[in-house]
Structure 1
Amino acid sequence: MNKSITRLFCTALLSVPMLMNAQEKKLVDYVDPFIGTGGHGHTFPGAVVPFGMVQLSPDNGRSDWDWCSGYHFSDNHIAGFSHTHLSGTGIGDWLDISVMPLLYPLRDESADIKATFSHANEKAAPGYYTVQLDNQITAELTATERVGYHRYHFPNQSEPVIRLDLAFHQNWDNPTETYIKVVDDSTVVGYRYSTGWAKVQRVYFALRTSKPFKEAILAGHGVQSAQIKAARTEEKGKGVSAQLLFDAQQKLVDMKVALSSTNYDKALLALNEIPDWNFEHVRESAEEKWEHELQKVQVSSSDEKLKRVFYTALYHTCMAPALFSDADGVYKNAQGDSLKMPAGNQRYTEYSLWDTFRALNPLFTITQPEKYTAMLNSMLAFYDENGLLPVWDLSTWETNTMTGYHAIPVIADAVLKNWPGIDVNKAYKAMLASAYQEGRGVPEYIKHGYMPQDKMGHSASVTLEYGYDDWCIAQVAKKLGQEEDYQKFSKRAQAYQHIFDKKTGFMRAKNSDGKFVLPFDPYLSEHDEVKAQYVEGNAWQHSFFVPHDVRGLADLYGSNEKLSIKLDSLFSVSSKLTGGNTSPDVSGLIGQYAHGNEPSHHIAYMYSFIGQPWKTQERVRQIVDSMYHDQPDGYAGNEDCGQMSAWAVWSIAGLYPANPASSEYIIGSPAADEVVFRPGGGKELRFKAINNSKSNIYIQEVKFNGKKYNKTYFTHEDIINGGEIEFIMGDKPNKKWGKKKDSWPLSQIDSE
């Protein structure tokens, strides 16, 4: 640890003696990377540093939805250790540059090289993974930003081999062109081009071993192996492989594999991130980087399980987006152009915006003062290259997955919070480009004021999400003095009113003739069907997505009380789903509330917009206690690049950005006794839950810097300026607190 970081930690630790008395362990010791690798969490357990390009992790070699990350805790096979993994998605791409240690050289390239293992012989921690395979080979993995560091211990009587397999893939990913070149007796370079969900993916690599290999055996995929003198070895094909054979006396082999999006010469340069062969030093450095991240939000609780849940969640918020550019800021995009980010910025990819705009990106405005400017500018770079902001950017390819154009609330939130280092005029122009684009049904949406089902599927979801995104544009227009745009997009933000059915009390799909689509079943969930009215859900889960105008929605129901009754019904009706192709994403059900999928994430906080924050407190604590735990299946659904975890971080602390571009954080029910946010600049915001317990879930009173506080939300300015907030908790609801309208969060109807 360098001296400046040491001073930072010492200052921080001296300022929180009570927390440190309660925490005898380092914060990284509370993280369990196996949480989320079971169930449908789709996380991976391997070695990565915060937002690193390299995610070095084991792959089971099985193609199925629950193996999207390459690994699922139910499996006991390892087919290799690859260097790129998606965190918590439902997508099976990446898994690039797979390597596998073997006891003996393969004589048949088509042989199954999977090895079995027991979880009893497996361990993971932030920046580190190790497993002893049943064949007695032990693998240890750690990483820097662009380099994966392997250590392999081979048993006696073995003939050590490391196999590099560029044909390896799971699920949708398939190699299209691969290349291997042996540079010398310890260095191999090459690339892997592939197609899948992202149609163009290019990964360049440089591999170096600590000991020279005595022979390299290369083979094209499905072609008989041929031995070639190592100094002149190269092979190109759809899926080539190489076996690196070591002297039988070498039972310990270290290996570094560096990645680049540009070319393998840049990957060779990236090897310098690890200048020597000190595995423990690299591992310790990775741990220090994680400790630095975790110190940004510090929790005190007597509940050890809660701390494991919290810190693993905070850990998972630092997986995506992933670094994509070389150290000099240069990258090659999906179009094949070599470009360079502005000075001081790196390029990132893996933007699961339909998920992360809700809670992860607002969290970044507190926890990522060092990196968030580059993440935002990466989205604007995508706009420069493609003419539109990203929808779901993977390897800089627009996958165009999911509904809405949710880069807009992310950019809007940054502009409204005066985030430094972004071109506001370009950002506004980019938002308008997405809102007026010719694709994704936008012209029909503008024409009708809603998305007609007979013009494009998912009518109800698209209408609601475009309407919210348009509200975000209106707020930026207002800030920039663009009055005409402000009025226009404020009107577009009322799109939800066009599809509300007063007879059923649900948002429903409409055709272009203005008639609701029939038949209608609020429990119907059809996954990815063109005819589906909702994306990954049903009418129950999507009808409440009006985070910018909760009280306007209440007016459609007839009153705040009637909306409250409808919300109550959401949590109490049958959890049965109908339909022949029910979406697997609809999980974590409490009634029809589905915490395993993002459209539900703000709903528990809606009560606070209508004067019933005690119901928010009740439901939030119920969700925290029932939907998160510290086992491999500890998430209720896809972790989704940090969104599921960000919800937990916010809600355990006691607040949540229900309208993620409003700069307001709604008070919930803090599950931890004390939480300290450190947003940078030496400032701290300390949350204390007085008399907190499993039964004392209701807020009786709130104090802010010693003064009575009656609002049911805090602003972003409150958070970043620091101070102390006290939540006085009790076992019965205080129905008077937060009942008065002047304490409620923002709703668009108030500005009309």
Structure 2
Amino acid sequence: MRTSGVVAVSALVLNNVANAAGLTDYVLPDAGTINGGNTFPGVSLPFGVIKLGPDLYTGSDSYSGYQATGNFTGFSLLHESGTGGAPKYGVVSQMPVVGAIENPLEDHNDTRSAKDEARVGHYKASLGSGTTLEMSATHRAGLYSYTFPKDSTSSNVIVDVSHVLPSFRGQGLGQSYLGGNISVIKDPQSGSLHYEGFGSAGTARQNGLFTSADILTKRRLTRLLSEPNPLATELASYDDTPSIESTARLGAVFTFNSTQVTSRVGVSFISTDQACKNVDAEIPRDTSLATLEENVKKAWNERILSKITTTDTTNNTNLQLLYTSLYHMNIIPTNKTGENPLWSSSEPYYDDTFTLWDLFRCTTSLFQIIEPVAYEEFIRSLVDIWRHDGFMPDGRSSFSNGVTQGGSNADNVLADAYVKGVRGAVNWEDAFKAMVTDAETVPPNNNDSRDRSASTKEGRGALPDWLEHGYITTKYKRSVSQAVEYSVNDFGLYQVASGLAKTDEANRYLNRSRNWRNQWNPDMKFQDFTGFLGPRNTDGTFKKQDPLSCGGCYWGDDYYQGLPIEYSFNAHHDIEHLIELCGGTDAFIARLEAMFTPGLNPSGDSKFDKTLFNPGNEPSFTTPFLFNYVGRQDLTVKYSRFNAKSYYNPTPGGLPGNSDAGAMESWVLWVMLGLYPMTGQTTFLVGSPWFSDLTIHLGGGKELHITTTGGSEDVYYVQSLKVNGQTWDKAWVTWDDVFANGGTMEYVLGSDPVKWATGPAPPSPATQHDDSAGGDSA
């Protein structure tokens, strides 16, 4: 389906929040922009194509284009938020330049004269030349508003079709300009100048962006530019449409005798004609910057922010963290429905997924609650990508799959959606076939220089070992982390197969989901703890391994972005068996507590007190909540709250690491809500909410009301809980309990822990359906 209108929003009735329309006032777009957070502070709608903002140069990678220091190199149309790997996009920029320009295709840049100003729907940059540039955006269009110095004798805007965000990492991941074209047309009625262009960057021409823009001011002269002829003939006549195409750097310079210049820009991945239609439909001529800003605010308020509301306004910092996190969590993926140049389909299309390895743990489950319509579209998009590209993505951008860091984690996302009742227009028979492709088909090796042992583009590259041995040997890189993820992926197939009454397939994948146990080395030791997930040599023997060392924790190592002790907690579908392997309940509690003991990780980041738990990395995300499985819900509250309070705040440096496209923000949101999802299951682990009341608006008039009494910043241990008015003795709830039809959760909080959760432990489905593990048979 094609997106409709400038800002597609749905009406929402708010029952318990004062000034809900002003929730954007709590959003700080520049939060998480420095110290490795990599968030995007510019202007975007939820999942919008246009992400209009600055590109700055410091000699290091600018993943979102933004740097707190350095010089402006342009203001471009497409960006990512919170990503790593290498910068993406920065495609087609405008750059204001004051004074005579000898060579417009030189690397023109400018300093800052004041701190950038960022708020929802509006971005302002003050350049050293005295020029200010203000911006706003719609879904597929943007507006630049320039104010040049009054004493300027020459005001210029350089349009650079060949502009991209560069990479300095030297890993062959950087973008390059591949070619493009630009044409300049004069409107016979208004006299304004209109340019149309195409710029291709990255690795393939289909990654190209078509753009169409007008320059709304009295024209003096224009030049089309291309290397090696940067001083092309000045255009004085527009009887014909001047245009130029080149694989060399390419652009145009517009020079004005006015200090006020406005440019409307539309984009498309289909054609320049579509780009023109997008800008005219979404930003009609004479639309003001203020109008666009209000539209953007309205979209964020109604579509995202007002889905979680509170009347508890006593702690402004908590409110800023809540709504800023919701904001940054929903910038990407990008809804490019109607803009897919590769195939024609009636299905939605979502791009810029960075990556499901980061997002499946607790982001996509919140995505379903906050934006159920968009979430269903996203699920359908994953399946449609499989139909046309052969595999679902783990990461995807510029209409191409890649990269896969561990397992085929789209399987987890689909399983989570299925068990929580997502149906709608999802073709679940096709979805299961897509999952089976991941589970049974070895993807072609894409010979990634970081790991040549198997595909890093899609699917499960180490599948031959998995199918033959039931474990993964060191023949394949990241063998241990892939093994535990493949187990979770297979559990996802079991869940969907069970729901579709595919009994044989369900049994097959449930049995395979326990194969992580084959990676368990009982001889690995740390302190008094014995047994951890370890690498196996090609002859099946265990390789000697320190539980606190992962080498570089990178593509060529046995563990990816996590220590062996971290990964050893990650079989979340089989926790009961994991507890048994660890020596029982008391030993498991002690092992968990060791994760949060300062000073035990000699190679750890000092800002995390060198704990084995890493609050800035996804393999650690669920660990503090596992106390709920062993009767210590109080320790879940203690450690999740401590880490959230210690390492998260709504400031530019307020994230513990790379945002990972909102993964970090979603983790802290769950902590604030007092719940945590077990992906692929219907279980939510109970924590302790940060507000005296919260309402989660679920759509269709359904709401989950969460209240606390007796709590404060220093008083947060759960004393008792009622769910839907009934006294509750379990440290977990299910989707049906509180989300499927709404519900209530009433907490009483106190300063000291009490043993209130005396009921059964959370489910451990892979164990409880395993006769050999002593659980209940299916």
TM-score (norm 1): 0.91
Q: Tell whether 2:108 aligns with 1:113.
A: yes
Distance 1:262 1:110, change over 3 A: closer
Question: How do 1:276-675 and structure 2 match up within 5 A?
Answer: 276-277=285-286, 278-292=288-302, 293-299=304-310, 300-325=312-337, 329-332=338-341, 337-342=342-347, 345-419=348-422, 420-439=424-443, 440-453=461-474, 455-503=475-523, 504=525, 505-520=531-546, 522-530=548-556, 532-572=557-597, 574=599, 576=601, 578=603, 588=608, 591-657=611-677, 659-675=678-694
Answer yes or no: is the 8 Å Cα contact 2:684–2:735 preserved in 1. Answer: yes
Aligned residue number for residue 146 of structure 1: 140
CA contact (8 A) 1:499 1:510 kept: yes
Contact preservation (8 Å) 1:477, 1:486 = yes
CA contact (8 A) 1:294 1:315 kept: yes
One-letter code of the match for 1:31? V
Contact 1:330 1:341 in 2 (8 A): no
Secondary structure at 1:548 match in 2: coil
- Counterpart of 2:439, as a letter, is A
Q: Describe the shift of the 1:241–1:62 C-alpha distance in structure 2 as closer, same or farther (beyond 3 A).
A: farther
What SS does the aligned partner of 1:592 have?
Answer: coil
SS state at 1:748 partner: helix
| Aligned position for 1:220 | 226
**1:199 positional shift:** 8.8
- Following the alignment from structure 1 to structure 2, what is the Cα–Cα distance between the partners of residues 528 and 347? 28
The Cα of 1:40 is off from its aligned counterpart by 0.7
Cα deviation, 1:66-106, whole Å, max 9, x if unaligned, reads x2111122x14211111111110113111111111111342
Q: How far has the Cα of 1:458 moved from its partner? A: 0.8
Map 1:59-78 to 2 at 5 A.
59-65=55-61, 67-73=62-68, 75-78=69-72
Structure 2 distance, partners of 1:587, 1:550, is 30
> Quick one: which amino acid aligns to residue 192 of structure 1?
G
Indicate the residue corresponding to 2:448 in structure 1.
Answer: none
Q: Is the 8 A contact 1:524 1:577 kept in 2?
A: no
Runs of 5+ in structure 1 lacking a partner? none
C-alpha contact 1:76 1:118 (8 A) present in aligned 2: no
Question: Which position in structure 1 is the counterpart of 2:126?
Answer: 132
Equivalent-residue separation in structure 1 for 2:399 and 2:47 (angstroms): 16
Partner SS for 1:92: coil
Deviation at 1:110, TM superposition (A): 4.8
| Structure 1 residue 418, shift from structure 2 partner | 2.5
User: Which contiguous aligned blocks of 4+ residues in structure 1 show a shift greater than 6 angstroms?
Assistant: 4-7
Q: Is the 8 A contact 1:313 1:645 kept in 2?
A: yes
1:138-171 alpha-carbon deviations (Å, 9 max, x no partner): 1111100000111111111222211111232321
What does the per-residue CA deviation read over 1:550-602, in whole Å, with 9 as the maximum and x for residues that have no partner? 11100111212211111111111535455xxx9x9x98566111111111111
Per-residue CA deviation, residues 584-626 of structure 1 (Å, 9 max, x unaligned), is 9x98566111111111111111111222111111111111101
In 2, Cα distance between equivalents of 1:354 and 1:551: 24
Per the alignment, residue 209 of structure 1 pairs with: 215
The counterpart of 1:30, out of the listed 3, 26, 30, is: 26
- The runs of 5 or more residues in structure 2 that have no matched partner are 168-173, 187-191, 444-460, 526-530, 771-778
Letter in 1 for 2:250: S
Q: In 1, Cα distance between the equivalents of 2:597 and 2:100?
A: 60
TM-score, normalising length: structure 2 = 0.88
Structure 1 distance, partners of 2:49, 2:608, is 31
- Report the count of equivalent residues: 719
In the TM superposition, what is the alpha-carbon distance from 1:129 to its structure 2 partner?
0.7
Aligned partner letter, 1:395: S
Counterpart in 2 of 1:254? 262
**Distance of aligned partners of 1:597 and 1:568 in 2 relative to their CA distance in 1, 3 Å threshold:** same
Rounded to whole Å, the distance in 2 between the matches of 1:54 and 1:236 is 24
Note if contact 2:352-2:395 (Cα within 8 Å) is conserved in structure 1: no
SS in 1 for 2:372: coil
Counterpart code for 1:552: H
CA contact (8 A) 1:301 1:673 kept: no
- 2:667 counterpart SS class: helix
Aligned AA (2:710): N
SS class of match (1:571)? coil
Alpha carbons 2:550, 2:559 under 8 Å: kept: no
C-alpha change, 1:352 and 1:529, in structure 2 (3 Å) is: closer
**What is the deviation of 1:485?**
1.1
Matched, 1:240 2:249: yes
Q: Identify which of 182, 185, 190 aligns with 2:184.
A: 182
* Shift in Å, 1:266: 0.8
Match of 2:767 in 1: 749
Structure-2 change in CA distance of 1:154 and 1:296 (3 Å)? same
Question: What's the CA shift string for 1:197-218, capped at 9, x where partnerless?
Answer: x896221111112225332212
Q: Is the 8 A contact 1:685 1:720 kept in 2?
A: no
**Structure 2 SS opposite 1:701:** strand
Per the alignment, residue 155 of structure 1 pairs with: 149
Partner of 2:528: none
Question: Do the aligned residues in 2 keep the contact of 1:382 with 1:396 (CA within 8 Å)?
Answer: no
SS at match of 1:149: strand
- Whether 2:711 is the aligned partner of 1:692: answer yes
Q: 1:621 to 1:347 in 2, by over 3 A?
A: closer
Moved more, 89-98 or 231-240: 231-240
- Aligned-pair distance for 1:470? 0.5
Q: 1:711, 1:738 within 8 Å by CA — same for their partners in 2?
A: yes
Please, what is the CA RMSD of the aligned residues? Answer: 2.3
Q: Offset of 1:468 from its aligned partner?
A: 0.5
SS at match of 2:578: helix
Separation of aligned partners in 2, 1:210 and 1:565: 67
